[in-house]
Structure formats: structure tokens, C-alpha cells
Amino acid sequence: MTTDRRTVLGAAAAATALAATAALLGAAPAGAATAAAQQQPGDTPRLQVLTYNTFLFSKTLYPNWGQDHRARTIPEADFFQGKDVVVLQEAFDNSSSDALKQHAADSYPYQTPVVGRSKSGWDATGGAYSGTTPEDGGVTLLSKWPIVHREQYVYADACGSDKFSNKGFVYAVLDVNGTRVHVVGTHTQATDSACAEGENSGGRAVRAKQFKAIDAFLDAKHIPADEQVMVAGDLNVDRYGDEYASMLSDAGVVPADARTGHPHSFDTRENSIAADRYPQAPSEDLDHVLHRSGHVRPDSWTNHVVKEQTEPWTVSSWGKEYTYDNLSDHYPVTAG
């Protein structure tokens, strides 16, 4: 997946949030590890999760991709409904991403800001955040459940066009009926010919550093083993390639028990936008919702690629009309 298509690119009541934070972010009780060892996987909440690369590039740079139309339509789509957590990537365009989040607020009232857009609205900012980087990181998390802690982290390592974006991850702690669930939402280094230097061919070495940064960040949190931890997003690693195994190791995550639905989340043959933009690129399976190893998780976990299709929509460019019947160049991936 080339960066030629990855270029440069909430509101919980205060009293509820403060009470939940006090109750849920205190020190882990003594014996938590022992309790975790005895806990059955089925005891942890089985959340319904959506990860979706929305392809909401800046309208200043890319004015003809129907960003406003798609920002209104995505929250109405069937695949967007009934989830506990939604992780979005490429929510780059400010007004379109704000509109999408506003349209989704009735179903998902608890929301983080977009990673890398500013430091406002976060409990903490880590990594290599820069207020002068031209583009934000495009990742945001929406939740049915109260978010009692939200952090953003900007990757220190990047290559190619990703150098011009504050790409990183959101870390959110959710209060799910009194149980803490931890979610990392991310969009890692794009494959980019400008990164083709030895073992970093296409950005692979940078991605490895980013996955290790996620693992180190979570290690430093000392999260009890009886609390569920998920990593979700466009990981830019093809499930069918040899990088997938090293990604699992570097990020400290385990694969889903099953992968169902369409075989590719980025399909350059059948997705109308991807086929138009990248007719020569291979189809890949890049989007994942995975669990951190060493932590409790549901007794089974499935990732499902939704072959989304919508009513045709048309845009014009240089006097020519283009019609598409998808909402992004990626398909959504649901998990649960």
C-alpha cells in the first residue's frame, strides 16, 4: 500500500467523568495478578468494535473526494451502528471529521479529539507532538461508554510523506459498567517508496519501531492482567504477508481467533475508490482489532471485513464526473 494514497496530508458530563476517574484510575488492588490468573476469559466484557479508515483527506489538497458527503453518510451506515467503540483513521480534514463526529454523537457521546491536531481535550500528550507539523494524525475514538482517561501519543519515527503528519495513537480507558477496558487506536507508517532504504523498504522498519512504541507505552502503564487491552486501526500490515508475524511480536498483541467476511480490507479490484486511485496496487488486509498478550480477553474473538457498498455518489474534477459506490478506499472491519 503506497503512500501515494497516504500522503500528507464527547462529551461526558464532568461529574460523571470525575467520579469514574477517581474510582477507576486508582492503584490496582493487591492480589490483582492472582485474581487475573483465576479469571475466566468470558468474564471480561465482549465489546463490539469498529475500525475504519475514512479517507477524509484535507479538502484543501484533495477537494474532489466528497468528504462532506461521506462525513454525513458514514454515521448512517449499517456497519457503523450498535458498536461499543469506534476507532477512525484518516480523519484529517478538520471540518469533515468534526461533522462526522457530530453526526455520530447521539450513538457515541464519548469522544476523543483527533490525535495530533492540538493538545486541547487530552489528559496527557506524549511522544513527538509538534504544533508546527502541517497535518494532524487523523485518529479519533468514539465510545458508547464513558472515557475516563484519554491520551495522545505521536510517533517519533516516520519516513516519506508521513513526516509531515502527527501520526500516532489514542489511548483511552473506558468504564464499561464498572470494568476498565483499555483501547489503543492507531494508524501506523504508510508504505512509501521514499522509505525504501535497506531493511526499511517501504517503511517496514519504521512500522516496527512504532509497534514497539505502543508496546513500551502499555508496559509503562502497568495495566493489571485482568483488564482487557485492545489495539485497533489501520496497521498498514497485510495479514497475508510475512510482516504480520513480526508485527504481532513487536506490538505485543495476539491474532484474532477468526477472520471472516471479505478477504481484503483494502481492495483495489472491488472497492470503487481504491480501484480508481490505485489500479496497479495489490489488494491487502491491513485493518485489525487485536488484543494485548498477557491480558484477559473474551474466550473467542473475530475480525470481520464488511464489504460496504452505498448509493452511488458523484464528484466533478476538471470538467469530468466520477461516480463511486463506496464510502472510503478501505472497507470497515468490525470485531467482537
Tracing cell 478477504 back to the chain, one arrives at 263
pLDDT score for 213: 99
Cell digits of residue 88: 477512525
pLDDT score for 199: 63
Per-residue pLDDT of the chain (336 residues; tens, 9 = 90+): 444 333 333 333 333 343 444 344 443 333 333 333 333 455 799 999 999 999 999 999 998 899 999 999 999 999 999 999 999 999 999 999 999 999 999 999 999 999 999 999 999 999 999 999 999 999 999 999 999 999 999 999 999 999 999 999 999 999 999 999 999 999 999 999 899 776 667 899 999 999 999 999 999 999 999 999 999 999 999 999 999 999 999 999 999 999 999 999 999 999 999 999 999 999 999 999 999 999 999 999 999 999 999 999 999 888 889 999 999 999 999 999
* 110-111: strand order across its sheet: 110-111, 140-143, 85-91, 49-56, 333-335, 302-305, 258-261
The interaxial angle of helices 243-251 and 204-221, nearest 10 deg, is: 30
- Measured distance CA(231)–CA(252) in Å, rounded: 10
Cell digits of residue 214: 505502543
CA nearest neighbour of 36 among 228, 297, 296: 296
- Measured distance CA(96)–CA(107) in Å, rounded: 18
Check if the beta carbon of residue 312 is closer than 8 Å to that of residue 35: no
Write the CATH number of the domain with boundaries 43-335. Answer: 3.60.10.10
- Max Cα–Cα distance, the chain, nearest Å: 68
Residue 2 is classified by DSSP as B
Q: For residue 273, is it left (φ>0), alpha (ψ between -120 and 50) or beta?
A: alpha
Check if the beta carbon of residue 321 is closer than 8 Å to that of residue 313: no
Boundaries of every domain in the chain? 43-335
Residue 128 is classified by DSSP as S
